[in-house]
Amino acid sequence: MVRQLALELPVRPARGRAAFFVAPPNALAVQQIDAWRDWPARKLVLIGPEASGKTHLVHVWADLASAEVIHARDLPQAELPALAAAGAVAVEDADRIAGRRQAEDALFHLHNLLAAEGGTLLMTARRAPRDWGLCLPDLASRVQAAATAHLEPPDDTLLAAVLVKLFADRQIAVSPDLIGYLVDRMERSFAAAAETVAAIDREALASRRKPAPRLAREVLDNGPGGDD
């Protein structure tokens, strides 16, 4: 079989509210995002594993609250007063700055600026704040005082919906047979779903075949990161 080069084309994730599938593993977190005006001390930490939908929910909240969104690693270069002036800020991957003093200092100052003006702060992380390993005690105490919302591992219904969305983000229409095949056999995690969809897309392009259970079996047998 002649194989064609599978180019890494840009993927455009759908991040509107209508594209976020609500199921038992994430329903409580969605309720907390919707009720953002009632967060204790006007701050929340959204916790979930890789690819669990944290960024999607951040953008849902940003639309609700007219919030600015920034990655935690970019805080040292940000104009913090101007950022806080928005009145609502989402800081993504806040747990990843542990041990980076400049970034920790910047998050501490942003927190204080928002608190002083009655602003709202949303932070995302893979773990609970007590497990971040922050070096700045004042920041650690403030973050640990925040309310938390959790995105739990997917059940069958949510995993199926996530797979459909991931394929749709790549403009690939798939059959229920393929989704059912994957749900029954793949590793049950959001990260594995993203890797598997990307691998199926690559193999389908390279082999000029339509995504289907047979192709999915080959990908799963080789591992999502295996050779095409």
Q: What pLDDT was estimated at residue 6?
A: 35
Strands (DSSP E) along 132-204, which ranges? 147-150
Helix (H) or strand (E) holding 69: strand 68-71
Confidence of residue 91 (pLDDT cuts 50, 70, 90): very high
Name the burial class of residue 36, with classes exposed (0-12), middle (13-18) and buried (19+) by CB atoms within 10 angstroms of its CB.
Answer: middle
Q: What pLDDT was estimated at residue 10?
A: 44
Instruction: State yes or no: pLDDT of 11 exceeds 50.
Output: no
Q: What is the pLDDT of residues 111-147, one digit of tens each?
A: 999 999 999 999 999 999 999 999 999 999 999 999 9
Q: What is the pLDDT of residues 177-218, one digit of tens each?
A: 999 999 999 998 888 999 999 999 999 999 999 999 999 999
Could you give the CA distance from residue 22 to residue 25 in angstroms, rounded to a whole number?
8
Sign of CA dihedral 79, 80, 82, 88: positive
Using DSSP's 3-state secondary structure scheme, residue 23 falls into coil
Whether 105 and 98 have beta carbons less than 8 Å apart is answered as: no
Query: Which residue from 107, 124, 122, 120 is spatially nearest to 47, judged by alpha carbons?
Result: 124
Higher pLDDT, 71 or 165: 71
Phi, psi for 85 (deg, rounded to 5): -65, -20
Confidence of residue 15 (pLDDT cuts 50, 70, 90): low
**Amino acid at position 193, single letter:** A
Considering the entire predicted model, what is its pTM? 0.78
Instruction: State yes or no: pLDDT of 37 exceeds 80.
Output: yes
